[in-house]
Amino acid sequence: MSALVSPDIINLCRKNDRKAQRQVYEKLFASSMRVCKRYCNGTEEAMEVLNTAFLKVFTQLDKYGGKGSFEGWVHRIMVNTSLDHLREEKKHHSHFIYPEKMDDVPDEETDELEYNDIELDSLYRMIGELPPVSRLVFNLYVFENFSHTEIGRELGISVGTSKWHLSFARKFLREKVKAVYQKAQ
Amino acid sequence: MEEKNNMDKMFKDRLGKDNPAFKDEYWQGFEKMLEAAAPVSTAGSSSGFGKALHLMTTTKGIISIVTFVTLSTATYFYSKSLKDNQITQKVESIQAPLSFSTHPDDTIVVFSTPTGVSNPFSLSSSTTAVNVASQPGSIQTANQALSEKQTVTPSKQISNSIVSSVATPQNKKEIRSRSSNEKALIPGRNGVAIVAEGSPDEVIALKEKFSGTRTDTKQPVEKGMVNDLTGSIPGRTLPQDSSLFQYTDNQKPDAQKEEFPTGNQPIVRKDDSPPLIPAAIPADLPTAQSGAIPGLTSGIFAENKLFKLFLAAGATSYTPFGNTSGFSGTGRVGFQFGAGTWYEITKEISVLAETDYLRTSGHQLSASSESTDYLFTKWVGRVTVENREINLLHVPVLLRYRYKFHMFSAGLSLQYILSCTGEKTTVDSVRYQYKYNHEKADNYIGGFNRLTAGLTAEYSCFVFRQNAILLRYTYYLNDMLKKQYYEGIKSPKPGYLFIGLRCRIF
């Protein structure tokens, strides 16, 4: 995959060249917005996180030493900024009621679902309705390809806790998808 | 990576194909954010006092305050220095070699100069040379215009630090005295009364001489003592062609130095010109006291001036004040040293300005976000910011009140961070290492405020002469961390406790 952003543009961005910054912002907008929308609850919130992350990108551009792809570096900042944002969601989700016991979480279902008709915004909304930690584990496991061990190490939780959050997220989403599908039928 | 769940696959596939459209308005919104991020936010209290206080803590406000204080102080000190220099110039006029001219009445005025005045009569700091010659009823003193004559009585004692002389008709006398620790009124010959100054031995000698009881007629010049008339020290005499006086004890012929002048003996000049009188002595010569005459030594930092220079050094500790929750810094002790000056407005009140270099190592600052072990998990999304090492300039400007040996000071301080290293631990334990420098400190995420202002209180106590131990605490009004980058992180305002020694050097 060819680089979306050339080194020359990056150098111009270091000099606070607005045109170059806009070019970077525009080229990386789609991929970055995808990340933010997955971690956030709603497009507006995702835009806020995305802009905060881009602000970090442009103000900390000197830290990018040219090793590795620039897009990957930006992606990492997007994820980290989203994680920071998730921390702040604690107060907004403190009312969320989890099952009292982990055993209460049902086993995973493997039946196929007809989901192609479900709109993307609905899918984002479903993820956004997940509790923060479960949303985080689901995102890291499914989209960032982290293992439970890696998630546990990164987040400071046990592997079992990570698995529980993943199972909880799957069930939560499945029920949401079913509800949407049945409503569409 | 196992992918055994169709829910995972569904979300990954569907969301992976999402391609959010870019709109210009997105960029415009972000551009405003970029521009707003450059200056420090100035949002604050709506009250006038709150706004003023807030403005004082901004960079522009700090610079304005420092500029105003500096200019005001400099103006005040400059005007004071000008006044002192005017006195200095007047007094220094007597430092130049005196010119002599003949007086129509053939009067020789001899005067005793105070200690430390560098005129031809006083090359030794401990000697007072007195040379008396008289003219009927006339005397000229150094604290009067020389053209003005003053009639005195034998009992009249003139300014003890300037001149002591009494005149009688047709007599010319010469008095030598080498110290000024005793005075005596000596009845001399022909109704002469002489006020003699000097050590007890010298006074006795003078009494013997002028009362006619003296037996020896030769007054040896001791080594290192000032010779009469010329004020020169043996071995350090004036050049042979000096236009002042012809001889010293080492130079003059034996016939001239075998007798102490006893009257009717003119002062001999090299060119045998008429007796001499000094001219052009300022009329408002300050009265000397036990020490130097104020203003005699040039330079605004002279002893008699009110400026004092000092060095200060000691140990410092990063000691935040107030809300320190989340603070877990360790190893905050460092050192600082600097120099400064104080200016005594009055004996009790002075203004002190100092510039210190401060360096602390270890973790001076460790600020954390609130614990994120939320919900029922033990997942800790902790964000910690630590600065490991900091180098800064610390500039306090204090108003000091002195009570005996104790001094209490308070004022403003500026802190300018030269460089610091920091470390941020993010929620996913990814550590970013920061190394700040002059150019980048303001532009880095997690940067520290380079310039901050604070309040300083200090207690100091003289322990030896003008060397003092001091205890100082500075509380800064600004957050050390840039809040726009550390939203949600509790960061105590910086504070430094300094224990050190201040030594006056000049």
Q: Tell me whether A60 touches chain B (CB under 8 Å).
A: yes
Distance from CA of A2 to the nearest CA of B (A): 18
Which residues of chain A are within 8 Å of residue B380 when distances are taken between CB atoms? 156
Backbone angles phi, psi at B385, to 5 degrees: -120, 125
Question: For position B392, what pLDDT does the model report?
Answer: 85
Which residues of chain A are within 8 Å of residue B16 when distances are taken between CB atoms? 34
Q: Tell me whether B26 touches chain A (CB under 8 Å).
A: yes
Domain match, B310 and B277 both: no
Domains of chain A and CATH, by start: 7-88 (1.10.1740.10), 102-184 (1.10.10.10)
Domain match, B257 and B191 both: yes
Question: For position A136, what pLDDT does the model report?
Answer: 85
Question: For position B3, what pLDDT does the model report?
Answer: 46
More reliable by pLDDT, B380 or A182: A182
Q: What average pLDDT is seen over chain A?
A: 78
Q: In which domain, by residue range, is B158 found?
A: 97-281
Q: Tell me whether B28 touches chain A (CB under 8 Å).
A: no
Q: Find out whether B309 and B485 touch, Cβ atoms under 8 Å.
A: no
Output the CA–CA distances (angstroms, integers) from residue B435 to A10, B31, B432, B445, B489, in the order listed. 21, 27, 10, 11, 20
Question: For position B423, what pLDDT does the model report?
Answer: 65
Q: Which two tokens stand for residue B471?
A: 């205890």
Residues 6+ apart with CB under 8 A from B163: B109, B110, B111, B112, B130, B139, B141, B142, B143
Residues 6+ apart with CB under 8 A from A28: A4, A5, A71, A74
Which residues of chain A are within 8 Å of residue B4 when distances are taken between CB atoms? 108, 110
Output the CA–CA distances (angstroms, integers) from residue B322 to B326, B456, B477, B494, in the order listed. 12, 15, 11, 10
Q: Per-residue DSSP letters for B350-410?
A: EEEEEEEEEEE-S-SEEEEBPP---TTS------EEEEEEEEEEEEEEEEEEEETTEEEEE
Which residues of chain B are within 8 Å of residue A51 when distances are taken between CB atoms? 29-30, 33
Distance from CA of B65 to the nearest CA of A (A): 30
Domain match, B192 and B246 both: yes
Q: Tell me whether B39 touches chain A (CB under 8 Å).
A: no
pLDDT tens digits along A94-118: 444 444 444 444 545 545 555 667 7
The CATH number covering residue B416 comes to 2.40.160.20
Residues 6+ apart with CB under 8 A from B221: B227, B234, B248, B249
pLDDT tens digits along B32-46: 888 877 644 334 344
The answer as to whether B467 is a domain residue is yes
Question: For position B459, what pLDDT does the model report?
Answer: 94
The answer as to whether B87 is a domain residue is no
Question: For position B398, what pLDDT does the model report?
Answer: 92
pTM of the model: 0.36
Q: What average pLDDT is seen over chain B?
A: 60
Question: For position A181, what pLDDT does the model report?
Answer: 75
Q: Tell me whether B430 touches chain A (CB under 8 Å).
A: yes
Domain match, B266 and B310 both: no
More reliable by pLDDT, A41 or B40: A41
Instruction: Assign B503 to helix, strand or coil.
Output: strand
Which residues of chain B are within 8 Å of residue A93 when distances are taken between CB atoms? 375
Instruction: Assign B476 to helix, strand or coil.
Output: strand
Question: For position B460, what pLDDT does the model report?
Answer: 92
pLDDT tens digits along A140-175: 888 888 888 888 776 777 888 888 889 888 888 888
Domain match, B258 and B333 both: no
pLDDT tens digits along A47-84: 888 998 898 888 888 777 776 788 888 888 888 888 77
Domain match, B277 and B346 both: no
Count of CB atoms situated within 10 Å of the CB of B267: 19
Residues in chain B with pLDDT < 70?
1-4, 38-63, 66, 81, 86-200, 202-203, 206-306, 320-332, 361-388, 422-448, 480-492
pLDDT tens digits along B124-170: 333 333 344 334 444 344 344 344 434 333 433 433 333 334 444 44
Structural domain count, chain B: 2
pLDDT tens digits along B269-317: 445 555 544 444 444 444 433 333 443 334 444 445 567 888 999 988 8
Give Cα B290 distance to the centre of its chain.
23
Domain match, B238 and B328 both: no
Comparing CA positions, the residue from B2, B166, B223 lying closest to residue A142 is B2
Q: Tell me whether B155 touches chain A (CB under 8 Å).
A: no
